[in-house]
C-alpha cells in the first residue's frame, strides 16, 4: 500500500454490531477503522471500489486446526492463515491437538511466535483441558490463560471422565474462560464411520447414533449448572442437541454452541457421492464412499440439518465455526472405515453458507452476525467483529453473486480434503483486509 489511508467505497455495509445495513464507505487509517459514512473523499487515500459488493467486519473462526507444531505435512500456521484470509477470516482460534499438545505455555508461545512471524491473520490459541489431552489430569490452565489461551478444549478427545470435566469447569470459571468440549460418548460411537441412518445401511457401514452426542451434551449442561462454569458445545450436529441447548439457555445456564458450514448445508447423503453424481441419492456410483465426507461429528440426516439452520436463525446456535481440519492424502485415500475425520473448508465456508442466503433460509445480516459480532462477544473482544471507529481494521468484502467451481488444487491450505470438489458455489470473498493491509484479493 502506498497510503495508510484507505477508503472502501460504495459497498453494501453490513455490520450487525451496530445494526448497520446500508450503502456507505468505510474509512481506514493505519490499523484502525475511522468510521462508516457516505460520500467520503480524502486526498491521497487508496480507494477500493466495493460497488455491488458486501462489506462487513472480518470473519472470526473459533475452531480451526492449524496442525503446527507436529503435523506440518497437513497444514502450517503460514498456509492455514493464508487459507483463512482467502476465506474472509481475519481471526482464527487454533485448536490444541498438535504434537506436542498445546498444554503448556511453551507451546502457546511457539504458536503465537510463529503466527507473528509467518501468519497473515490473527491467531488466538486454545489450550488443552488435560495434560496431553489424555483426560487424566488437568493441564496448567492458569498458565495457559496467562499465556493467551482464549479457552480450553481436548477437541477430538472428549473429556470422558465426569469428575475431570467438573473440575475443569470449576477452574475455568475462576479464569472466566469456557470449556469447549467435543460431545461424543465413545462407547456409543466406537466402530462407527458415519451417521446412523438409511445411508449407512445402504452402504453397509456402521453408524453413529445421535445419542452419542446428545448424552454428553446433557451431561456437560448439568455440570455447567452445578459449577457455574461456561460450557461451549463444539460443532453441534443433531436436533436433540439443539433442544438441550435451547432449554439450558432458557434456564439461565452458561452454555453456548457453534455449528459448522457442512452441518448447515450438506447431509449424510453426501457420502453417497451425490454432490458429484447429480443422480438419485440412493444410486451408487464411483464417487460413493467419499472419504472426504467423513467428519466427526458425522454429517447428519436432513431433519438434523434443517434443525441447525432454524437454530442458527433463532440464535440458539451462537455462531458458525469452520472446524477446518486439513489432512494429508494418505489419511483420506483409504477405506472409509479407516479414513481420518475432517474437512478442509475454511476457503469454501462463505460460498457454502451463501446458499442459505440465496434460498431465503437465513437473512444476510444474521449470517454476517454469526461470523463476526457473535464470535467476538464470545471472545469478549469489542475491537473485533465490528466496524466501529477505533476497532481493528479487519474487513471482508464479498461478491454475493460470483459463481465459482471448487478446485482443491488451488487451495492455499495443504488440506485438499473436501467433498465439494467440482461443486459450483455462488458467493465469494474477493478482498480481505487485516490490520489495515490487504492480505487477500482476487
Enzyme catalytic residues: 323
Contact 216, 235 (CB under 8 A): no
Contact 107, 100 (CB under 8 A): yes
What residues contact residue 236 under an 8 Å CB cut-off, 6+ apart?
183, 213, 217, 242, 245, 257, 258, 259, 263, 308, 311, 317
In 65-169, the DSSP E strands lie at: 89-94, 122-125
CA dihedral 12, 13, 16, 21 (to 10 degrees): -50
Task: Give the single-character DSSP code of 176.
Answer: T
CA dist., res. 82 & res. 37, Å (int): 30
Contact 319, 257 (CB under 8 A): no
Residue with cell 467505497: 9
Contact 308, 263 (CB under 8 A): yes
Q: Hey, what's the cell of 335?
A: 477405506
Residue 191 burial (CB count, 10 A): 9
CA dist., res. 386 & res. 14, Å (int): 10
∠ Cα 213 218 219 (to 5°): 100
Residue with cell 467520503: 40
Residue with cell 440412493: 282
CA dihedral 292, 298, 299, 304 (to 10 degrees): -170
CA dihedral 168, 170, 176, 178 (to 10 degrees): 40
Amino acid at each position: 500500500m502506498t497510503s495508510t489511508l484507505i477508503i472502501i467505497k460504495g459497498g453494501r455495509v453490513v455490520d450487525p454490531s451496530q445494526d448497520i445495513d446500508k450503502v456507505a464507505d468505510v474509512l481506514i487509517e493505519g490499523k484502525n477503522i475511522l468510521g462508516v459514512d457516505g460520500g467520503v473523499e480524502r486526498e491521497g487515500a487508496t480507494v477500493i471500489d466495493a460497488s455491488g459488493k458486501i462489506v462487513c467486519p472480518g470473519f472470526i473462526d473459533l475452531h480451526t486446526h492449524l496442525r503446527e507444531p507436529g503435523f506440518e505435512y497437513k497444514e502450517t500456521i503460514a498456509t492455514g492463515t493464508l487459507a483463512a484470509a482467502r476465506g474472509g477470516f481475519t481471526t482464527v482460534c487454533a485448536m490444541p491437538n498438535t504434537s506436542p499438545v498445546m498444554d503448556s505455555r511453551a507451546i502457546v508461545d511457539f504458536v503465537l511466535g510463529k503466527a507473528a512471524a509467518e501468519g497473515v491473520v490473527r491467531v488466538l490459541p486454545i489450550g488443552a483441558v488435560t495434560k496431553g489431552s489424555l483426560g487424566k489430569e488437568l493441564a496448567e490452565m492458569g498458565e495457559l490463560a496467562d499465556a493467551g489461551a482464549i479457552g480450553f478444549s481436548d477437541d477430538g478427545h472428549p473429556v470422558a471422565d465426569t469428575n475431570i470435566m467438573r473440575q475443569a469447569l470449576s477452574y475455568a470459571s475462576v479464569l472466566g474462560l469456557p470449556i469447549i468440549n467435543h460431545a461424543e460418548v465413545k462407547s456409543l460411537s466406537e466402530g462407527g464411520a458415519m451417521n446412523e441412518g438409511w445411508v449407512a445401511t445402504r452402504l453397509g457401514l456402521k453408524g453413529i447414533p445421535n445419542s452419542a452426542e446428545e448424552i454428553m451434551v446433557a451431561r456437560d449442561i448439568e455440570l455447567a449448572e452445578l459449577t457455574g462454569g461456561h460450557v461451549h458445545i463444539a460443532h453441534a450436529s443433531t436436533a436433540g442437541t439443539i433442544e438441550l441447548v435451547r432449554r439450558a439457555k432458557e434456564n439461565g445456564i452458561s452454555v453456548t454452541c457453534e455449528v459448522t458450514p457442512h452441518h448447515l448445508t450438506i447431509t449424510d447423503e453426501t457420502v453417497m457421492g451425490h454432490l458429484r453424481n447429480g443422480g438419485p441419492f440412493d444410486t451408487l456410483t464411483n464417487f460413493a464412499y467419499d472419504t472426504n465426507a467423513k467428519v466427526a461429528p458425522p454429517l447428519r440426516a436432513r431433519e438434523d440439518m434443517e434443525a441447525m439452520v432454524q437454530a442458527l436463525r433463532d440464535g440458539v446456535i451462537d455462531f458458525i465455526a469452520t472446524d477446518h481440519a486439513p489432512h494429508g492424502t494418505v489419511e483420506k485415500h483409504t477405506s472409509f472405515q479407516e479414513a481420518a475425520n475432517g474437512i478442509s473448508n475454511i476457503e469454501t465456508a462463505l460460498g457454502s453458507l451463501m446458499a442459505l442466503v440465496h434460498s431465503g433460509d437465513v437473512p444476510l445480516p444474521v449470517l454476517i452476525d454469526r461470523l463476526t459480532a457473535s464470535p467476538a462477544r464470545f471472545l469478549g473482544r469489542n475491537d473485533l467483529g465490528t466496524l466501529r471507529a477505533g476497532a481493528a481494521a479487519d474487513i471482508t468484502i464479498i461478491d454475493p453473486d460470483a459463481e465459482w467451481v471448487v478446485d482443491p488444487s488451488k487451495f492455499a491450505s495443504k488440506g485438499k480434503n473436501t467433498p465439494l470438489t467440482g461443486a459450483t458455489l455462488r458467493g465469494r470473498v474477493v478482498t480481505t483486509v487485516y490490520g489495515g493491509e490487504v492480505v487477500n484479493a482476487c
